[in-house]
Protein backbone atom coordinates (compact mmCIF):
# COMPACT_ATOMS: atom_id res chain seq x y z
CA UNK A 1 0.00 0.00 0.00
CA UNK A 2 2.98 2.33 0.24
CA UNK A 3 2.88 2.76 -3.54
CA UNK A 4 -0.67 4.17 -3.36
CA UNK A 5 0.58 7.08 -1.28
CA UNK A 6 3.77 7.64 -3.25
CA UNK A 7 2.54 8.02 -6.81
CA UNK A 8 -0.08 10.04 -8.59
CA UNK A 9 -0.24 7.82 -11.68
CA UNK A 10 0.43 4.11 -12.12
CA UNK A 11 -0.03 1.33 -14.63
CA UNK A 12 -0.70 -2.38 -14.32
CA UNK A 13 0.91 -4.59 -16.92
CA UNK A 14 -0.30 -8.03 -17.93
CA UNK A 15 1.51 -10.24 -20.44
CA UNK A 16 3.74 -7.35 -21.53
CA UNK A 17 0.85 -4.97 -22.21
CA UNK A 18 -0.51 -2.06 -20.17
CA UNK A 19 -3.81 -3.40 -18.86
CA UNK A 20 -4.80 -0.35 -16.83
CA UNK A 21 -3.49 3.07 -15.91
CA UNK A 22 -4.59 5.98 -13.75
CA UNK A 23 -4.29 7.20 -10.18
CA UNK A 24 -4.27 4.51 -7.47
CA UNK A 25 -7.45 5.95 -5.94
CA UNK A 26 -9.25 6.10 -9.28
CA UNK A 27 -8.28 2.55 -10.19
CA UNK A 28 -9.16 0.95 -6.86
CA UNK A 29 -12.50 2.79 -6.74
CA UNK A 30 -13.62 0.69 -9.72
CA UNK A 31 -13.83 -2.27 -7.32
CA UNK A 32 -15.66 -0.41 -4.53
CA UNK A 33 -18.39 -2.52 -2.96
CA UNK A 34 -17.14 -5.70 -4.64
CA UNK A 35 -14.35 -6.85 -2.29
CA UNK A 36 -15.26 -9.18 0.57
CA UNK A 37 -13.11 -10.92 3.18
CA UNK A 38 -13.27 -13.58 5.88
CA UNK A 39 -11.16 -16.21 7.60
CA UNK A 40 -11.49 -19.76 6.35
CA UNK A 41 -9.82 -23.17 6.24
CA UNK A 42 -7.85 -24.66 3.37
CA UNK A 43 -10.70 -27.12 2.75
CA UNK A 44 -13.26 -24.32 2.54
CA UNK A 45 -10.97 -22.31 0.25
CA UNK A 46 -11.39 -24.97 -2.44
CA UNK A 47 -15.16 -24.57 -2.26
CA UNK A 48 -14.92 -20.77 -2.29
CA UNK A 49 -12.75 -20.89 -5.43
CA UNK A 50 -15.53 -22.77 -7.22
CA UNK A 51 -18.15 -20.16 -6.30
CA UNK A 52 -16.27 -16.86 -6.28
CA UNK A 53 -13.35 -15.05 -7.86
CA UNK A 54 -10.77 -15.48 -5.09
CA UNK A 55 -8.30 -12.60 -5.32
CA UNK A 56 -5.91 -13.55 -2.52
CA UNK A 57 -5.39 -15.65 0.57
CA UNK A 58 -2.72 -15.70 3.26
CA UNK A 59 -2.12 -17.43 6.61
CA UNK A 60 -3.71 -15.61 9.54
CA UNK A 61 -3.85 -16.94 13.11
CA UNK A 62 -3.96 -20.61 12.11
CA UNK A 63 -6.52 -20.04 9.36
CA UNK A 64 -6.52 -18.35 5.96
CA UNK A 65 -7.55 -14.74 5.38
CA UNK A 66 -9.28 -14.78 2.00
CA UNK A 67 -10.43 -11.88 -0.20
CA UNK A 68 -12.95 -12.39 -2.98
CA UNK A 69 -14.60 -10.34 -5.71
CA UNK A 70 -18.40 -10.48 -5.66
CA UNK A 71 -21.13 -8.09 -6.70
CA UNK A 72 -22.62 -6.13 -3.82
CA UNK A 73 -26.17 -7.13 -4.82
CA UNK A 74 -25.43 -10.49 -3.17
CA UNK A 75 -24.42 -8.87 0.10
CA UNK A 76 -27.04 -10.65 2.23
CA UNK A 77 -25.77 -14.04 1.09
CA UNK A 78 -22.16 -12.99 1.57
CA UNK A 79 -22.88 -11.72 5.10
CA UNK A 80 -24.62 -15.01 5.91
CA UNK A 81 -21.40 -16.82 4.87
CA UNK A 82 -19.37 -14.66 7.26
CA UNK A 83 -17.92 -12.23 4.70
CA UNK A 84 -17.46 -8.54 5.43
CA UNK A 85 -17.18 -5.82 2.82
CA UNK A 86 -13.67 -4.35 2.44
CA UNK A 87 -12.03 -1.38 0.81
CA UNK A 88 -10.30 -2.50 -2.39
CA UNK A 89 -6.51 -2.20 -2.45
CA UNK A 90 -3.86 -2.36 -5.16
CA UNK A 91 -3.31 -6.09 -4.60
CA UNK A 92 -7.01 -6.74 -5.30
CA UNK A 93 -6.82 -4.58 -8.42
CA UNK A 94 -3.72 -6.38 -9.70
CA UNK A 95 -5.15 -9.86 -9.07
CA UNK A 96 -8.43 -8.95 -10.77
CA UNK A 97 -6.87 -7.47 -13.90
CA UNK A 98 -4.11 -10.05 -14.34
CA UNK A 99 -6.08 -13.14 -13.27
CA UNK A 100 -3.37 -13.96 -10.73
CA UNK A 101 -4.78 -15.44 -7.54
Q: Mind listing the pLDDT tens digit for each residue in 2-56?
A: 666 778 899 998 889 998 999 999 999 999 999 999 999 999 999 999 999 999 9
Phi–psi pair at 63, nearest 5 degrees? -125, -165
Q: How many whole angstroms separate alpha carbon 81 and alpha carbon 93? A: 23
Handedness of CA 92, 98, 99, 101 (dihedral sign): negative
Looking at residue 99, its pLDDT comes to: 76
Averaged confidence pLDDT in the chain: 90
Whole-model pTM: value is 0.85
- The model's pLDDT over 48-87, given as tens digits with 9 standing for 90+, comes to 999 999 999 999 989 999 999 998 777 889 999 999 999 9
Amino acid sequence: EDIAGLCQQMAIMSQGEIALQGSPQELTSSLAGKIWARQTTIEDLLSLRQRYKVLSWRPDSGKLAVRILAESNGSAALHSEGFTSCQPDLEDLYAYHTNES
